[in-house]
Amino acid sequence: MRWTRRGRSANLEDRRGQGPGRLRRGAPMSLGGILLLLVLSVLFKQDFFALLGGVSDVATGPAGYADPAPPPADLGAEDEQVEFVSFVLDDSQETWNRVFRGRGDDYVPARMVLFRGEVSSACGYAAAAMGPFYCPGDQRVYLDLGFFEELRRQFGAPGDFAQAYVIAHEIGHHVQGLLGVESQVRRLQERHPDQANELSVRMELQADCFAGVWGHSTAQRSILERGDVEEGLRAAAAIGDDRIQQMSGRGVNPESFTHGSSEQRVSWFRRGLESGDPERCDTFGG
């Protein structure tokens, strides 16, 4: 990507090197609790992570993300990566600000929290093993930079646009919150628990498509370089539910999917990339 240094985003909170601190809502959840929710989700074919207050993430659970690497002794060694994350955060939100303005609506920017190992949010305690996630309770994206190394090493999805896809996907969840999609889905999941997983998949795929809408805008502005699109599509395929289940040594069980298959994630991300039109991202239409 031809990204430019702008310094740190005003919407970036850096909590690397800090503990989880004081929870904003709910009780702390241990890693064992997270594992329990993962097992229950598979056994009962429902998204028990919804109990955390609406956490939306790219790759959930230890099956999708190995233990994170410890932070570098000198956090300044990550300055360039922090500036890259800041660029993607600001650029993606500037894109959505234009989209909302075109609709006659106001866009309220999300904030991003960088952390290492564990963090507290309005959705409760979270460990880095959950992967990046968006919490609608405080309108923040939570990211452990160590995930990008796992994306490259464990998932075989290197490249800066692969990383940008992850961030843009989480901003896509924020857009869903502003549009009212997230609250509608949570209500439907409460009324129809047997459809909780299917609804979760549809919401995640829409966030993939929204990430593609931003990707389309970068192509229009000549920010993308040769190979960037392939990097993003590879990342979308790498974190499909079927791929993660295979990597964990379990059989593929489509009924337990909460994020969509690799094929689905690639298809919806590509749709956003090619159209640049949020209206083409209706994953709930049929």
Give residue 180's region: left, alpha or beta (phi > 0; psi -120 to 50). Answer: left
Residue 18 has pLDDT above 80, yes or no: no
Residue 39 has pLDDT above 70, yes or no: no
Average pLDDT over residues 45-61: 51
Distance from chain centroid for Cα 7: 23
pTM metric for this prediction: 0.82
Residue of higher predicted confidence among 19 and 116: 116
Specify the residue for token string 């598979």: 42
Question: H or E stretch including 66?
Answer: none
Do 257 and 241 meet the contact criterion of CB atoms below 8 Å apart? yes
Phi–psi pair at 124, nearest 5 degrees: 110, -170
- DSSP strand pairing (111-115 vs 12-14): parallel
Phi–psi pair at 134, nearest 5 degrees: -115, 135
Do 61 and 197 meet the contact criterion of CB atoms below 8 Å apart? no
pLDDT band for position 61 (50/70/90)?
A: very low
Given this model, what pLDDT does residue 253 score?
A: 83
The two tokens of residue 42 are 């598979």
What is the Cα–Cα distance from 96 to 251, expressed in whole angstroms?
Answer: 39
Given this model, what pLDDT does residue 257 score?
A: 86
